[in-house]
Amino acid sequence: MHLIDVQTGLLANNDAVAAENRAMLAQRGIYAVNVMSAPGAGKTSLLEKVLPLLAAKYRVAVIEGDIVGSADAERLQKLQLPVEQINTGGACHLDARMVHHAVHEVVHGPADVLVIENVGNLVCPAEFDLGEDDALMLLSVTEGHDKPKKYPLMFRRAGLLVVNKVDLLAMTDFSVEEAVQAARDVHPGLEVVRTSCRTGEGIADVAAWVEGRIAAKRGLGAPPARG
């Protein structure tokens, strides 16, 4: 019982800080997306392709979450975007408090869009709201189409499911149809895009989805001019 009480307390505390983050972002009209997946599903590779498309229209800032190191942040800094690295120091997910200072930096700088790359983990990040508008999750086809049944919370939380590495489909037993069905069993109507960072398939569709969500948040049909 002690464990459960502590966990409930931690989540309630997280939700309070997430609400602060969300209010700060809303006040500046910044759209935020939390990108999550298992380790190695291709979050950073996808962002390397999608962020330049978004950056052509919006001012994009990035928060990069890792247990240790800054390898992914260094990859994304090559895109000439502001990237804030957060090391969780062993923790298996970002939480609202960890990103709070970086959100402060973002709302006081020039930004329209905040992209947060979470720690690679299909379980724990799903429980922690960071204050984002949307969660985007990747499932790579090499992971198997049974994953929505085994990790339902993440698929329930996702606003968009990106089925990544589809260039490897022929080499695997993965059924996109079964994966999507299993995902929609736990999250009816979940939107899905198929992507390959190698062939470029679906990259523009992911960017378009994010742009649609930005427009919806602003209640506008078209994005503003950049600058």
User: What residues line the site for a copy of itself (CB under 8 A)?
Assistant: 3, 6, 10, 38-40, 66-69, 71, 90, 92, 119-124, 127, 140, 142-144, 146-147, 149-153, 165, 167-168, 171
Q: Cβ 68 to a copy of itself, closest distance in Å?
A: 6
Q: Cβ 69 to a copy of itself, closest distance in Å?
A: 6
What are the distances in angstroms from CA 162 to CA 59, 114, 125, 135? 23, 19, 17, 11
Looking at the Cβ atoms of 60 and 116, the one nearer to a copy of itself is 116
For residue 157, the Cα-to-chain-centroid distance in whole angstroms is 11
Q: Where are the beta strands (DSSP E) in the chain?
A: 31-37, 60-66, 83-87, 113-117, 134-140, 160-164, 191-194
> 136-157 in b/e burial notation, b at 16+ Cβ within 10 A?
bbbbbbebebebbeebbebbeb
Q: Cβ 212 to a copy of itself, closest distance in Å?
A: 29
Q: Identify the residue whose tokens are 């990747």.
A: 138
Looking at the Cβ atoms of 71 and 216, the one nearer to a copy of itself is 71
Looking at the Cβ atoms of 88 and 223, the one nearer to a copy of itself is 88
Looking at the Cβ atoms of 22 and 145, the one nearer to a copy of itself is 145
Beta bridge partners of 84: 63
Token pair, residue 173, equals 């037993």
Q: Cβ 192 to a copy of itself, closest distance in Å?
A: 17
Q: Cβ 202 to a copy of itself, closest distance in Å?
A: 17
Does the CA dihedral 113-167-149-1 come out positive or negative? negative
Looking at the Cβ atoms of 153 and 176, the one nearer to a copy of itself is 153
